[in-house]
Structure 1
Amino acid sequence: MFAQERQQIISNMLKEKSSIKVIEIAEALEVSESTIRRDLQEMEEKSLLMRTHGGAVGVDNRTNYEPSFLDKKDERKDKKIKIAEYASKMINDGDTVILDSGTTTLEIAKRITAKDVTIVTNSIDIAGELSSNDQIEVIVTGGSIRVSTRAMVGTITERMLKNFRVDKAFIGANGISIDDGVTTPNVTEAQTKKVMMNNAREVIVVADGSKFRNVSFSVICPVKAVSMIITSDEITEQEVQEYNEVGVEVITT
């Protein structure tokens, strides 16, 4: 069976159910799981589906689909590392910084070399990563932990965040669009991110190029509210120019 035939069958399977697993497809088509993973990668590159940890979901479900931390941890990791390398260099000695929960911001935390830095975070993973760094004071927000994203959110988190004014906030997002703004699937997480942004002098969104033109359910802010977007090199010069025209600097890594 040719790849095109397999991919058409996968598309039909996604029309019947909202998500499918690699092993399920492999068994149905009687091919190896590695073959199916290649098919899913090709289909994602064509915007025909979105890959998840161990499977895929249809693009029609993407507005309120929320990949878990595990889904995202190793996905496009090389892109995230390049973004993190650039972003971490923006953190200077003595800075106060909010690091939003997320896989890209976790990579930033791993690469901070500045001294006497204060980090405020709602991420249990970032807090753990930085806990042994004696050059960084870590303030953990507390709040309710969302199992899927490992982020602390809610009223307690927001109250804690409102006690601080920081130099920079690095914020993650699931969707970035000039028309629809910066978005994420969960309403509660969107609200937490808004509070982070409101208490920072400079707001930097860190998200790889796959997030551009995506629109998730909950609006965090219009793109004009962002100081800078650090992303990967998949976006075009024309797209960069479009964001520059609305006053947002876009850095590609």
Structure 2
Amino acid sequence: MYAEERQQAIGTLVSQRGRMSVAALAETFGVTTETVRRDLALLERIGQIRRVHGGAVPAGSLTVGEPGMAERDQTRAEQKERIARCALTYLPPAGGSVIFDAGTTTARMMPELPGDHDLTAVTNSVPIGARLASMTAVSLILLGGRVRGVTQAAVGEDALRLLSTLRVDVAFIGTNAVSVDHGLSTPDSEEAAVKRAMVKAANHVVVLADSSKVGREHLISFAPLDSIDVLVTDSDISAESTTEFQDHGIEVVIA
């Protein structure tokens, strides 16, 4: 294989997988790690990939932008539906307590919640809160604060103050991105602070993230991998990423 062909193939593989390590690329193409690093440097110069510690991610993976609710809700909708249904298996027994983070995937859990399941539920999401308020078996704690229009989530000191006093059985957390090096991340600092407090308040943390978010990194990390107990994702996650997460003690569940 000529160098140009290998570089094109590397760029394609990184785009498909979301993240590839230098070692894995070297093994795949039968070259040295030094050769791979030179290839990645070239691909980064032409804007096809971005180099990260130990490997590479697609050029668009390191972002500060944030799509609106409508756009996110329509993206990978089928996978999100399966992930939400699968995540319901981690609900605590009747009488338990949960946090539902704002997000289009966590919101998909609402229609599937058993109507007679006695639950104390905490959320900063306006649409999730509205749905939970109509369930007679649910005792709802709605976090206050400024509501971000782009995510319809309450953020700020009021939400953080209440979360600092809570301890719940399970937190169902959404994220814009998840990677080995950067953990869970999101573009907005106030939203990151609330998510960080939610993770801290939970005995068990279940992350709902479709595979397009795996290997991506946003501006602000709000939780390291060792704070996650379960990652519920879809079957498009790569075997390499699955192994990396499992090596960090995370239960990876394919919905």
> What's the TM-score once normalised by structure 1's chain length?
0.75
Deviations 1:60-115 (A, max 9, x none): 48510111112111211111110110111221322200000000110112211161
Aligned partners of 1:110 and 1:130 also within 8 Å: no
- Number of aligned positions between the proteins: 199
What's 2:77 paired with? 77
Structure 1 distance, partners of 2:63, 2:238, is 23
Distance 1:80 1:193 in 2: 19
Cα distance, 1:200–1:78 mapped onto 2, change above 3 Å: same
Question: Counterpart of 1:178?
Answer: 180
What is the identity, as a one-letter code, of the residue corresponding to 1:163? T
SS, match of residue 101 in structure 1: coil
Please give the alpha-carbon distance, in whole angstroms, between the structure 2 residues aligned to 1:170 and 1:126. Answer: 12
Aligned to 2:126: 124
CA deviation map 1:4-51 (0-9, x unaligned): xxxxxxxxxxxxxxxxxxxxxxxxxxxxxxxxxxxxxxxxxxxx79xx
Q: Percent identity?
A: 33
- When the two structures are superposed, what TM-score results if normalisation uses the length of structure 2? 0.74
Aligned residue type for 1:214: R
Task: Give the structure 2 partner of residue 109 of structure 1.
Answer: 110
Task: Tell me the equivalent position of 2:143.
Answer: 141
The unaligned stretches of length 5 or more in structure 1 are 1-47, 50-57
- Offset from partner CA, 1:144-186 (integer Å, 9 cap, x none): 1001111101111101112211000011111110111111111
Which ranges of structure 2 fall in alignment gaps of 5 or more residues? 1-47, 50-57
1:245 corresponds to: 247
Q: Counterparts in 2 of 1:203-222, with a 5 A limit?
A: 203-222=205-224
Higher relative contact order (CA 8 A, sep 6+): 2
**RMSD of aligned alpha carbons:** 1.9
> How far apart are the structure 1 equivalents of 2:131 and 2:89?
18
Question: Shift of the alpha carbon at 1:137?
Answer: 1.1
Q: Distance in 2 between matches of 1:186 and 1:228?
A: 24
